[in-house]
Amino acid sequence: MITSKDRAHALLSASASERWICCPPSVRLEEQFPESTSVYAEEGTLAHEICELKLRKIFVEPGMTDRTFNTRLNKLKKHELYKPEMLRFTDEYVDYIKEIAYSYPSAPSVAVEKRVTYGHIARDGFGTADCIILYGNEIHVIDFKYGTGVPVSAERNPQLSLYAAGAIAAYSMIYPIQKVTLHVIQPRLHNFSKWSTTIAALQEWEKLVKERADLAWEGKGEFNQGKWCTFCKAAATCRHRMEENISLENCTTTDKDSEKVLYPVPPLISNEEVGQILERAQQLASWVKKLERYALDTLLRGEAVPGWKLVEGRSNRTIIDIDTAFTKLQEAGYKEAVLYNRIPISLTEVEKLISKEDYTEILSRYVQKPKGKPTLALESDKRPVYQAAVSAEEAFGGCNTFLKEENL
Ligand code: SF4
């Protein structure tokens, strides 16, 4: 079984491929920073290990006894980051894979936590695909994501495309692969994304990526700021990012001095300019957040950031021993009813508490999802455009006059 220690990353890793494809010099720039991990990454690794165990029992070691399975699972449950809901979320991933595997007339080949190499595209490139299913001329590359940050799309996903390229290189002697399907399973966000392409389209993409990978390996190419900066180790102190963000005033198309002289600009900005500024301001806001975190960490280490210091933040008063304090208040004559609120737990907490079956049979009929408030999003956002909810009355002017006339 692959453990967190085995999950080494290539310099041109598949998980960071969106970044090095879009900003090739970031790879060598990142080398100046120490390796780091987060509690979320550790949690994700543990959830992956549970997924792997479950899939191995079904597809790789069908002879695994329940006793062996439970012993291995119990070992994982002892991890300090283990939470009971992990079993349900990993079940959703396993069910999804079973659905694909059982959709074929005979048993497909299922590889779990498969190490794939894509050195023919990116030098020394390798990674671990969570699950690969092969049947006839089809390949499925499935990725489990335990995070809850943002929903990840399978469409043109570079990480999965690199895994697919590696798997095709390894299996094409045995399987005449033509159709490639990428899947992202992100159960905590109810995100099940799927995208299919052909081997010819994938090979075209590989050519472009190879060019970027060569540049990245050599530390060449253009710096390029974008959403991929979020996970770049240089996200706070990257000079290119700083220059892009502090030149925010130059982001609109009406900024040329000569134009201002010949054609005086109007005192109010246009909607087009609002769109352009907001797009750039998103990057600015994300960069400032990183910069604040960086300055805080620097000051906490005892180093100076000229013009800034650490102060004590706001804090709220708390009762240190609430049970004893409230008992004393009740002894003094205050009624329990006025001291306590009876509040039901949230739907998310109920979901963690009850089984999938009880959710479906008992609770689901009482759950409704109201229409979300209109939210600003970039044109490239995958969600459909907001449709204002209008009642039939609002839409058709209050009453059905046609019907009235018919009844006359
Ligand atoms: S912060 Fe962004 S622009 Fe700078 S190196 Fe990293 S990915 Fe490139």
**Once rounded to an integer, what is the mean pLDDT over residues 255-281?**
74
Ligand 1, atom 4: closest residue by C-alpha: 238
Report how far residue 197's alpha carbon sits from residue 181's, in angstroms, rounded to the nearest whole number. 6
165 lines ligand 1 (CB under 6 A): no
Judge whether residue 288 has pLDDT over 80: yes
Predicted TM-score (pTM) of this structure: 0.77
pLDDT value of residue 4: 47
14 lines ligand 1 (CB under 6 A): no
pLDDT value of residue 149: 85
pLDDT digit string (tens) for 334-386?
999 999 998 999 888 888 788 888 888 999 899 988 888 888 888 888 788 98
Report how far residue 61's alpha carbon sits from residue 58's, in angstroms, rounded to the nearest whole number. 7
Angle 26-29-35 (CA atoms, 0-180°, nearest 5)? 100
Pocket test for ligand 1, best of 31, 224, 284, 294 (most atoms within 8 A of CB): 224
Residue 29 alpha carbon, nearest atom of ligand 1: 5
Report how far residue 223's alpha carbon sits from residue 241's, in angstroms, rounded to the nearest whole number. 8
Q: Which uninterrupted H or E stretch holds 194?
A: strand 191-198
Judge whether residue 10 has pLDDT over 90: no
- Higher pLDDT among residues 263 and 94, named by residue: 94
In the numeric block, which tokens belong to residue 93?
Answer: 């991933």
In the numeric block, which tokens belong to residue 171?
Answer: 């299996």
Question: How much distance in Å is there from the Cα of 29 to the middle of ligand 1?
Answer: 8
pLDDT value of residue 251: 59
Ligand 1, atom 7: closest residue by C-alpha: 229
50 lines ligand 1 (CB under 6 A): no
pLDDT value of residue 357: 85
pLDDT value of residue 254: 52
- Within 13 A of 310's CA, how many CA atoms are on the CB side? 12
Q: Sign (positive/negative) of CA torsion 45, 50, 51, 52?
A: positive
* Residue of 48, 140, 66 whose CA lies nearest to 102: 140
Let me know how long the chain is: 408
Residue 235 alpha carbon, nearest atom of ligand 1: 1
Residue 238 alpha carbon, nearest atom of ligand 1: 4
20 lines ligand 1 (CB under 6 A): no
Judge whether residue 301 has pLDDT over 60: yes
pLDDT tier, 35 (very low <50, low <70, confident <90, very high otherwise): confident
pLDDT value of residue 19: 97
Judge whether residue 250 has pLDDT over 50: yes
* CB-CB neighbours of 249 under 10 Å: 9
Report how far residue 209's alpha carbon sits from residue 122's, in angstroms, rounded to the nearest whole number. 8
Question: How much distance in Å is there from the Cα of 370 to the middle of ligand 1?
Answer: 39
pLDDT value of residue 217: 96
Question: How much distance in Å is there from the Cα of 17 to the middle of ligand 1?
Answer: 13
Judge whether residue 175 has pLDDT over 60: yes
pLDDT digit string (tens) for 95-136?
999 999 999 999 999 999 999 999 999 999 999 999 999 999
CB-based contacts of 126, cutoff 8 Å, min separation 6: 10, 115, 116, 117, 118, 119, 166
Report how far residue 43's alpha carbon sits from residue 82's, in angstroms, rounded to the nearest whole number. 8
Angle 138-129-37 (CA atoms, 0-180°, nearest 5)? 160
Instruction: Name the range with the highest mean pLDDT among 131-145, 260-274, 276-290, 363-377.
Output: 131-145
198-203 contacts, C-beta under 8 A, 24 or more apart: 199/168, 202/161, 202/164, 202/165, 202/168
* Residue of 109, 136, 206, 124 whose CA lies nearest to 164: 206
Report whether 184 contacts 191 (CB < 8 A): yes
pLDDT value of residue 401: 47
pLDDT digit string (tens) for 312-338?
998 999 999 999 999 999 999 999 999
Q: Where are the beta strands (DSSP E) in 77-137?
A: 109-117, 126-135
Ligand 1, atom 3: closest residue by C-alpha: 225
**Average of per-residue pLDDT values in the chain:** 88
240 lines ligand 1 (CB under 6 A): yes
Beta bridge partners of 126: 117
Question: How much distance in Å is there from the Cα of 227 to the middle of ligand 1?
Answer: 10
Ligand 1, atom 2: closest residue by C-alpha: 229
pLDDT digit string (tens) for 187-196?
999 999 999 9
